[in-house]
Every structure is written in C-alpha cells, then in structure tokens.
Structure 1
Amino acid sequence: MKIKYLAICCAAIAGLSVTIPVMAQTATASGSMQVQIAITANCAVTGTSTTLDFGSQVSTATGPASANNGGFSVSCTNGTQYKVGLKPVSTDSNDGVGKMSADPDNGEFIEYTLYQDSASTVWGNDVNTNVKSGTGNGQVQAHTVYGKTTSTLNVAAATYRDTVAINVYY
C-alpha cells in the first residue's frame, strides 16, 4: 500500500511540473562596477652585500690601495626613479669618505673614499650631489662599489674595517 501511495504522489508531482507555465525572460537590466588596485612605489636593498676588500698591504706602502669588488643589489617598482647613497658609519660626513680601524680606541685608522665607477666619481650620501641614480625595472639591479685608501704607511699590522650604510631614496 505504501508503494502505491508513493507512486501516486510522484505521478501527481510530475504532472504538475509539466502544466506549470515557465515565464520567459523578456528584459535585461545591467550595470557596471569598477575594479582597481593601487601599486605604490617601493624600493629595497636585496640579497647579500659583498665586502669592498682592499686585500693585503704592507705597512710601508706609500700609495693608495684600490678595490672594485664591493657591491649590493636594489629592487624597485618598475618605473620608479631612485637614488642610492653610501655613508660610512665611521664619519658624520656625506662625502663618501670613511675611516677603517682595527681598534677604535687606539686612534689608528686608514681613510678610504667610495666611488661609483672606475673614473672615481665620488659616491656619498648627499642626494643633491654625489649619489647614484637609477630607474627601477621590477627586477634586482646590481651595483658595484669602487674604493681607494689613503696611504697605509706606518700603521700597525691588523685587519681594518668599517661599515657602510646603503640608503635608497625614491
């Protein structure tokens, strides 16, 4: 009996679905919306910097030592104009001149100057005069640092060091 009742109910529902009129869509309403994203300019010093290494010198050398093996990379948003400044932390000056010391308390140091290229264009931290300019391309851009020391005459045998801050202005 339950099966007969179920069959009758199913037949009734099927019959109703055939006889109910379906309304055709006769009009369309439309509108629009905006989609956006704001890309802001950004720059970063990326990767690992390499040491500007003047190598080994004798303390009787009277001429300057040169190096061109220091470097770092910058990544800026595509089209972003930027300037890179270098500032030795051993001095308050923005002229690219620093002082390497083995022991800051003993007063011995070796002065050095940072350069942007082999033509000795000074690389300092004054955004109006001695920084290196570039345009971001969205990729990592490598920058080589050149340098020269003053004379190493009569300084104590030791490893002399300094730290250089890398500043990107954009």
Structure 2
Amino acid sequence: MLISVNSRRLAAAILVFCAAAASANAAVYNNGSRTATFDVTMGLVADCTIAANALNFGAGRGVLATAVTATSDIKVTCTNTTPFNLGLNEGTGTGSSGTTRYMSGTGANAGTVKFNLYQAAGGAVWGNTQGTDTLGGTGSGTQQTLTVYGEIPAQASPAPDTYKSTITATVYF
C-alpha cells in the first residue's frame, strides 16, 4: 500500500495534536490551592421485615388419641436496637378466636381440628395482643429466627380430610 508524503505529514500532525491535548489535561499547577468539604449522610428509621414458614403437622394420621407436635420458624430482621413484638392472629379456621385456634376441613366438610401455638415448648400460648401474649425482642440489624411450637391436643377425630388454617404473623415496632 502506498501512502503519500502529505498523508504521512497529516498523520504525524494529528498525533502531535492529540499528545499535546492529553498533556494539557494532565498539567500540574503551582499557583496555590483551595479546599472545600462536604458531608455524606443517610438517615435510618426503625424498620422490620418478616417472613414465615408453614407449620405442617404431617399427613397419615388417623385417630387423634395423643398430642401431635410440630415446629416452624419466623424470621424477623429489625434495625439495630429497635424493640419489637411478634404476634400471631387466631387464623382462618372456623370457630377460631384470640388464642383458640382451629383448622377447618375443605369443601362441604364442616369438621375442625383444634390446635395451639406456643412461644416455647410447653410455654406461653402465642397470641396477637401486645403486652399480653406476643413475643418481644430487640432488633440487632441481622435476621433473628423465632420458633413457633405447634400442638394438636388429643381430641375426637373428625372426618378424613385435609385441614387448614392460615395464620397471620405481625411484627410490631
């Protein structure tokens, strides 16, 4: 490939111009300096998040002649030093009220299964009234896992079916 002398001169001139422009951006000045400061800020408010796992008493039971137990957990994350209460409502089972809870049968089955939720194994019944039957804690800024202890007490067995109640867990802060 043949490049003319003028093309070479033009290319050299462009390279000299680019080098001069680059060095102008990197110039060093010795006439003095001034400074300014600025703050970097952020505000944090008391806050919590909550997530709950299902409590499953299992399948394949027949007669409820003895108590059936199971556990689940609720994960609470609150900002550091934030006090909180964790409450569990009565659920959606027919006849449920306060800390008296029932699972309901499906479809036309009007049967129910009584169950209890506790704050500790054999401990206090878990409810949703702050200062009475909720579980208190203090946020650490990291996730805390709280165990829910469930029990179906011995009772007359209803018709075979799948029984269910939906519990709402609430973190108050």
| TM-score (norm: length of structure 1) | 0.71
Partner Cα separation in structure 2 for residue 155 and residue 92 of structure 1: 16
In structure 2, the partner of 1:71 is 73
Q: Which amino acid aligns with 1:134?
A: G
Q: Indicate if the aligned counterparts of 2:96 and 2:102 stay in contact, CA closer than 8 A.
A: no
Matched, 1:94 2:98: yes
Q: Indicate if the aligned counterparts of 2:78 and 2:141 stay in contact, CA closer than 8 A.
A: yes
In structure 1, the partner of 2:109 is 106
Partner Cα separation in structure 2 for residue 122 and residue 163 of structure 1: 17
Root mean square deviation, CA, Å: 2.7
Cα deviation per residue 1:126-166 (whole Å; 9 max; x = unaligned)?
A: 11211111111111111111011133433111221111101
Distance 1:55 1:93, change over 3 A: same
Partner Cα separation in structure 1 for residue 92 and residue 158 of structure 2: 21
In structure 1, stretches of 5+ residues that fail to align are 1-23
Matched, 1:167 2:170: yes
Q: Indicate if the aligned counterparts of 2:48 and 2:77 stay in contact, CA closer than 8 A.
A: yes
In structure 2, the partner of 1:55 is 58
Distance 1:137 1:110, change over 3 A: same
Matched, 1:123 2:126: yes
In structure 2, the partner of 1:41 is 46
| Match 1:82 to one of 62, 84, 91 | 84
Map residues 143-158 of structure 1 onto 2, 5 A cutoff.
143-158=146-161
Query: Shift of residue 93 of structure 1?
Result: 2.7
Percent identical pairs in the alignment equals: 29
Aligned residues: 143
Runs of 4+ aligned structure 1 residues displaced above 4 Å come to 30-35
Q: Secondary structure of 1:164's match?
A: coil
Q: Which amino acid aligns with 2:125?
A: V
Distance 1:60 1:31, change over 3 A: closer
